[in-house]
Chain A
Amino acid sequence: MIQLTTPFTEEKIRALKVGDAVEISGTVFTGRDVVHKYLHEGGALPPEVNLRDGIIYHCGPVVMKDAGGQWQVTAAGPTTSIREEPYQGQIIRDFGLRGVIGKGGMGDRTLDACQAVGCVYFHAVGGAAQVLAECITSVKSVHFLKEFGSPEAIWELTVERFPVVVTMDSHGQSLHREVLASSTAELAKNL
């Protein structure tokens, strides 16, 4: 198991290969459909949100306020990433992202941006909202809560040993492309 802490260097990210199991510690920012469209259309980030050398997590968590008025993440698995394919490549380039966490994988434009910039796609287990929420130790801030609603807001989260697998690396390799090709060939034999 590889341990990585944010912010990442290009060198550490370039060292990762498809199939590597990684545990991430540090800061991640959630961002999903509304955030990606907003940024792609030229929307500005609040100055506290610094994505450079960092991670965007495709996630719409369940977040509750506890008795002391503190935010607590009670469920936080990944959402399907492919919906961000029209926007992701540009956002990786514009903001200098080093990692994207999501599920289901992404397409060629994202893979190209990963190769150009030095970024990887980390696959978390879809639906594992409790295991992953346990790895979130605190909520540091939230942005666009009112404008975008809770699932679509940018949540700044501190994570500890958050388990993921590299399924798209910065060398042009994608597990998703491989599995699509092999399963397509296998189905042809079974029709």
Chain B
Amino acid sequence: MIALQSSLVELIRSASSELPDDVHRAILASLLNEKKDTIAEAALKIIDRNIALAKQKSQPICQDTGSIIFYVTSRLTLDQVGFEETARTAVTEATKKGFLRQNSVDSLTGVNDGTNVGLGSPSVHFHQHRGSTTEVRLILKGGGCENVGAQYSLPNEKLKANRDLDGCRKVILDAVLQAQGKGCGPGILGVCIGGDRATGYEFSKQQFLRKLDDRNSTPVLDQLEQDIVETANRLGIGPMGFGGKTTLLGAKICAANRLPASFFVSISYMCWAYRRQGVALNPQGEIDSWLY
């Protein structure tokens, strides 16, 4: 477990301080596209400089190092109990090293014990498969963007949103409008159409494991993703809500089955500081390769 622990600490360091290339490319494209000499352009320049500095110093891109969410896809024989114990130790070690802020608070007493470990922190999602590989993906999701997530129950009379794709489009765009600049845009949406209140949000967050430049294999969802980004970028909310051309860098949408009585659309918002990383581990727990 020693090798696994150091692999997980390295995964946390990398996720916290190095923005994935696909996200960085999208930010650079939005910088080129923004109107010159505006406060929106200046904000994107600071963001670009921040990305380089964080990587160079191996320090957090954003001081809110976020909810710590591990997604583990493993061979059948992985010791899940041992893995989770090691993940908790790795989180505490990464916090001592300053890769993570002391970021986890007891909701009843308000006490922050500085370890980042407690009920629900970190959260670890296991998925087994019959192959021999083990992959660990990590998302660090800050509180500012988490707070602007939204869940709608269709039909929604106020938004004239019915139980169809157009209704989904209306509530997704409403979530973008309500978020304004509060979630540190330009943002990325992860959306789940369907599911229950818990699985809807869970699936919406799993969309953040996709790369920004991939395309949805379901044509209607692919079309909706493109349409949401295009329309959101016509709203003029812009980076940080300063006004400007780029409000969203991407939208990733999935659908899950629902009950006949329920029709939820769950929207998670990711800030531009989109911290996502992943590794493939060998049987000893060492890092074989990086996934993003």
Contact = CB atoms under 8 A, between A and B. Distances in A.
B60 to A, nearest CB: 4
B61 interface: yes
B39 A184 contact: no
Interface residues of A, number: 49
Interface string A135-170: 000000000000011111000000000010101000
A179 B247 CA distance: 12
A123 B180 CA distance: 14
B257 interface: no
Interface in A163-184: 163, 165, 167, 175-176, 178-180, 182-184
A17 B162 CA distance: 43
A126 B271 contact: yes
A77 B63 contact: yes
A165 B181 CA distance: 14
B50 A127 contact: yes
B181 A176 contact: yes
A75 B184 contact: no
B181 A179 contact: yes
A83 B110 CA distance: 17
Given A130-B57, A179-B236, A103 B184 contact: yes
A96 to B, nearest CB: 27
Interface in B84-120: 98, 101-103, 105, 110-112, 114
A45 to B, nearest CB: 19
B181 A62 contact: no
Contacts of A21: 39, 42
Contacts of B101: 60, 62, 75, 150-151
B236 A104 contact: no
Contacts of A60: 63-64, 101
B221 interface: no
B243 A175 contact: yes
Contacts of A167: 242
Interface in B53-102: 53-54, 57, 59-65, 98, 101-102
A186 B234 contact: yes
B203 interface: no
Interface in B150-182: 160, 170, 173-174, 177, 180-182
A25 interface: no
Contacts of A133: 59, 63
Bin the interface of chain B by size: 35 or more
A104 B114 contact: no
Interface string A76-113: 11011011000000000000000000011100000000
B62 A191 contact: no
Given A60-B101, A191-B170, A127 B243 contact: no
A129 B147 contact: no
Given A130-B59, A131-B49, A165 B234 contact: no
Nearest to A130: B53
A26 interface: no
A39 interface: no
Contacts of A83: 147
Contacts of B234: 186, 190
A79 B144 contact: yes
Contact of B112 (A19, A103, A151, A186): A151
B181 A103 contact: yes
A149 B112 contact: yes
Interface of B: 39, 42-43, 46-47, 49-50, 53-54, 57, 59-65, 98, 101-103, 105, 110-112, 114, 142-144, 147, 160, 170, 173-174, 177, 180-184, 231, 234-238, 240-243, 271-273
18 contacts: A62-B60, A80-B183, A82-B182, A104-B182, A104-B183, A125-B240, A126-B184, A127-B184, A127-B272, A130-B61, A131-B49, A150-B101, A150-B114, A151-B63, A151-B102, A167-B242, A183-B237, A186-B234
Given A80-B182, A128-B62, A183-B235, 10 more contacts: A79-B143, A104-B183, A127-B62, A133-B59, A149-B111, A150-B102, A151-B102, A186-B235, A187-B235, A190-B235
Interface of A: 19, 21, 34, 59-62, 64, 74-77, 79-80, 82-83, 103-105, 123, 125-131, 133-134, 148-152, 163, 165, 167, 175-176, 178-180, 182-184, 186-187, 190-191
